[in-house]
Structure 1
Amino acid sequence: MGCVRQLQCYVFLIVISLLPAALAESTTLKLSLPGCPDKCGNVTIPYPFGTRPGCYRDDGFQITCNESTSTSTGTGTAPKVLLGTNSSNIEVIDINITSGETRVYKFIAFRCYNMSDQVEFNNTRASMDLTNRPFVFSHKRNKFTVIGCYNLAYIVGQGEDSYQSGCASFCDNNLMNSTTDGSCNGLGCCQTSIRSALHYYEVQWGFKNNPDWHFNPCIYAVLAEEDWYKFQVQDLTQFDFFKRNKNGVPMVLDWAIRNNGQCQNGVEKSTNRACLSNHSICNNASNGEGYLCQCMQGYQGNPYLPNGCIDIDECITRDKNPCSQNAICVNTDGNVTCFCPKGTHGNPYTKDGTCIKDPEKFPYPARVAICKSFFLYVFKLKIRCKNAQYFFHIYLFLFNFLL
């Protein structure tokens, strides 16, 4: 019987040791549909995006993982990730399902002049069309940036996106002293904002000639991530700007679930729901029509997947734990409970709160005085009584009372 008992204990210990791993596996965040790749090289591909038929929500979220071509990374090369089909020239940098943003590389619009002040060569891909796709150009994260000494450039829309904006940059005779690296204020470089809900743009040039060609042979215009570019004077005098960005410049696209009903008070009004997780809601897009899905408070994960939003264990997440330092934290489904340990009281929910020790019901000095008097009485009684076991229990009681 003893051996059986030991074996049961041994099995119990094994189960307990494996339980954390099993729980961790069951709460792993899911990114893609079952059987679908969730990465291409170093780029994570979360649903509603996907690289195979049946792995993306619709054609607008198709991603091509082109392993026959590669792109340079900080640690070598990786497959090229393209937005759309293999014929796309839009390379994906990363995808964010929380903010509804996709960062991509886009080619630079440029014009270079020869000694006759004539355009010697320029690029022919100075436009981008996102029509009938779930994307628009981010008006909050991008700026139209113009670089050059005699450069007037426009960003122009067409059709429903009929629109025009631009800026001009010039150089003075004392360029090197008057122009500061990092500043884009009109001397050598200028920037302007774009409108919201823009699906199409192309770059147009305002000046045909460049009288400063001998000093500034090439001029540029890019729609790019606002914080990406820091102006350098050498971008005017040399070809460093183009060499540094031969793969393109980073641009931010806003995406959403578009042409799919409405989102009202966090609830989808659609026959083709996109927010499939039980613990998800929808929010109207901030750029263009449509909406995004998000996990409810207390949950994290991919709201576009069935059961994609899982409970956050706030107790083990430092920045989400609302309990005071010495309080006990208990994670619940979608929430958390804090309480003070036994023998303490206070506010367990605020970072500045604390659980302090309860006041003693019987002060220690009083217990000492009582025990001392009672001990003397019992000692005198013991002299007349020879029952040692009886007095042993009395002494034990006094000891526990004192503690």
Structure 2
Amino acid sequence: MSRKSFSISNLLSLLVLLICMITATAQDFTILSSCQSHCGGIAIPYPFGIGKGCYLNNNEWYEVICNQTSGKPVPILNSINKELVDISLPDELSSNSFGLIRIKNPVTSLGCSNKEQLSLALNVTGRPFFLTGRNTLVAVGCNNKVLMTDVKSHIGGCESTCDVGSGQRGQNISCDGYRCCQAKIPSDRLQQIDIKIESLGGNTTKSAGCRVAFLTNEAYSPSNITEPELFYDKGYSTVELGWFIYRLRNMSVDTSCYSIIEGTSGWGYSNYESCICRYGKYLERSYRSCMCNGGYRGNPYLSSGCIDIDECEEAKAEGRNPCGKGYDCENIQGNLSCRKKSKTLAIILGICLGFGLLVIAIGAWCLYKFIRKQREMKRKKFLELNGGLLLQENFMSNEGNVKKTRVSSSKELEKATENCGGKPGDEVSELEWEKTAKYEI
């Protein structure tokens, strides 16, 4: 092997090693271009991912499996074995300091079939997920008593009945006990909750029939709650979970995001900060939740993932001026600026317009002169070709000698010749005529 080939091979090896070192350093907040970004029409943003090397630290908490056994791709959050409805990143504008996911969770039922589910628990203990305060317990059916258990020192629930007059309203706009009821979960950021269905004691209803209960972040009222069998046939409800990143297992990678401690006002950062990371503690574990700052959009968990928004262009596309009449909108980093329209611009435009018209007028005059000159040259050339120039020169040379040629009448001729040539019409000699002819020179 030559020295030249050996040097090139060594150089390539060093280059590959350098790339691997850079990748190993930044692997927590980068994503491979080959990673699958969607499953079943649902976006899977980092730190979640499908396939090895596509989710944070290759940790199963953020692993998504795109299951296609049914013929249709279905995203499954592997750590809790639940089907995903959607994933959203923390958002400063919507005041979501945590990321959100929605999952499909089975309903609890009683008296609907032989396959009863009298108790059903949702448990995400030990994982970076929790139930948000937007979830409520909803129960549908007659003679229905529903309890939320496995909540530390808390027991909550609601009751629904089909007895006429028992909580019934003429225009029932909320599930307050007649055929359906609902209750808020005891506290925010719960990681475990169990739902149990029981029968109301001493109820005179002959047959309670099908009864269901479920947790959900969706709003229900008697107007969109009909029969419990419909919920049972559907088989699931949507539940909202918050998510964050535990500061363990080497997940606390340094970023360029501005850091604040949860509970502080956060006035220390400005719009020039593209992203913000909030730090706090939950269940004796430190966590971090990052988001793009107001005026930016993107993924804060990717390097340089938060990009400045051009608010002026977005407003223009929507057909509005955020600054109002008489002001121009100017995009700045993380925000917009409104400045009063300047008269100087109008003056400059007027001067430019006047100058332009002047240039056009001068150009038109020059073009006219050029065309006229061309025609004159063509006329002279035509005269040269047809002998006209010589004739014109002769005419010009004789013009100074011959003042005028006059044709006289017969009476004037008689008077001038004293009738010596005979009367007009008589034959005279050429010599006599020449003697009596009159020229005026």
TM-score normalised per structure 1: 0.61
C-alpha contact 1:156 1:164 (8 A) present in aligned 2: yes
Instruction: Describe the shift of the 1:148–1:60 C-alpha distance in structure 2 as closer, same or farther (beyond 3 A).
Output: same
Larger helix proportion of the pair: 2
Letter of the aligned partner of 1:280 in structure 2?
A: C
Secondary structure class of the residue paired with 1:35:
coil
Give how far 1:300 is off.
1.2
Q: Deviations over 1:2-50 (max 9, x none)?
A: xxxxxxxxxxxxxxxxxxxxxxxxxxxx995533221112101111111
Within 5 A, what are the aligned runs for 1:198-347?
Answer: 198-207=190-199, 215-228=207-220, 230=222, 234-235=226-227, 239-243=229-233, 245-246=234-235, 248-260=236-248, 266-267=258-259, 279-283=274-278, 290-318=287-315, 322-343=322-343
Residue of structure 2 equivalent to 1:35: 34
Residue of structure 1 equivalent to 2:64: 63
The one of 116, 123, 126 aligned to 1:129: 123
Give how far 1:150 is off.
0.9
Give how far 1:213 is off.
7.1
Residue of structure 2 equivalent to 1:81: 75
C-alpha contact 2:142 2:179 (8 A) present in aligned 1: yes
- Aligned partners of 1:268 and 1:59: how far apart in 2? 28
Are residue 191 (structure 1) and residue 190 (structure 2) matched?
A: no
Letter of the aligned partner of 1:145 in structure 2?
A: V
Are residue 147 (structure 1) and residue 140 (structure 2) matched?
A: yes
Q: Deviations over 1:186-226 (max 9, x none)?
A: 11111111112211111223438896776541111111114
Residue of structure 1 equivalent to 2:163: 172
- Aligned partners of 1:113 and 1:242: how far apart in 2? 7
Secondary structure class of the residue paired with 2:178:
coil
- Root-mean-square deviation (Å): 3.8
Instruction: Describe the shift of the 1:153–1:176 C-alpha distance in structure 2 as closer, same or farther (beyond 3 A).
Output: closer
- Aligned partners of 2:238 and 2:280: how far apart in 1? 22
Secondary structure class of the residue paired with 2:127:
coil
Give how far 1:180 is off.
5.3
Letter of the aligned partner of 1:81 in structure 2?
A: P
- Aligned partners of 2:313 and 2:112: how far apart in 1? 61
Consecutive unaligned residues in structure 2, runs of 5 or more: 1-28, 262-272, 348-441
Secondary structure class of the residue paired with 2:227:
helix
Give how far 1:339 is off.
2.5
Which deviates further from its counterpart, 165-174 or 48-57?
165-174
- Aligned partners of 2:178 and 2:211: how far apart in 1? 13
Letter of the aligned partner of 1:256 in structure 2?
A: F
Instruction: Describe the shift of the 1:95–1:316 C-alpha distance in structure 2 as closer, same or farther (beyond 3 A).
Output: same
Letter of the aligned partner of 2:310 in structure 1?
A: D
C-alpha contact 1:262 1:290 (8 A) present in aligned 2: no
Give how far 1:233 is off.
6.8
Residue of structure 1 equivalent to 2:51: 52
Q: Deviations over 1:85-108 (max 9, x none)?
A: 6xx541111111033111111110
Give how far 1:316 is off.
0.3
Residue of structure 1 equivalent to 2:87: 95
Give how far 1:228 is off.
4.8
Letter of the aligned partner of 2:177 in structure 1?
A: G
- Aligned partners of 1:210 and 1:69: how far apart in 2? 46
- Aligned partners of 2:131 and 2:301: how far apart in 1? 22
- Aligned partners of 1:45 and 1:234: how far apart in 2? 34
Instruction: Describe the shift of the 1:50–1:229 C-alpha distance in structure 2 as closer, same or farther (beyond 3 A).
Output: farther
- Aligned partners of 2:253 and 2:146: how far apart in 1? 38
- Aligned partners of 1:234 and 1:297: how far apart in 2? 42
Instruction: Describe the shift of the 1:285–1:61 C-alpha distance in structure 2 as closer, same or farther (beyond 3 A).
Output: farther
- Aligned partners of 2:213 and 2:138: how far apart in 1? 6
Give how far 1:142 is off.
0.8
Instruction: Describe the shift of the 1:321–1:105 C-alpha distance in structure 2 as closer, same or farther (beyond 3 A).
Output: farther
Instruction: Describe the shift of the 1:65–1:193 C-alpha distance in structure 2 as closer, same or farther (beyond 3 A).
Output: same
Secondary structure class of the residue paired with 1:290:
strand
- Aligned partners of 2:213 and 2:293: how far apart in 1? 41
Letter of the aligned partner of 2:106 in structure 1?
A: F
C-alpha contact 1:167 1:192 (8 A) present in aligned 2: yes
- Aligned partners of 2:225 and 2:298: how far apart in 1? 45
Instruction: Describe the shift of the 1:216–1:240 C-alpha distance in structure 2 as closer, same or farther (beyond 3 A).
Output: farther
Secondary structure class of the residue paired with 2:53:
coil
Letter of the aligned partner of 2:232 in structure 1?
A: F
Consecutive unaligned residues in structure 1, runs of 5 or more: 1-29, 71-77, 115-119, 270-277, 346-356, 359-403
Identity %: 28
Which deviates further from its counterpart, 326-335 or 52-61?
326-335
C-alpha contact 1:94 1:103 (8 A) present in aligned 2: yes
Give how far 1:241 is off.
2.9
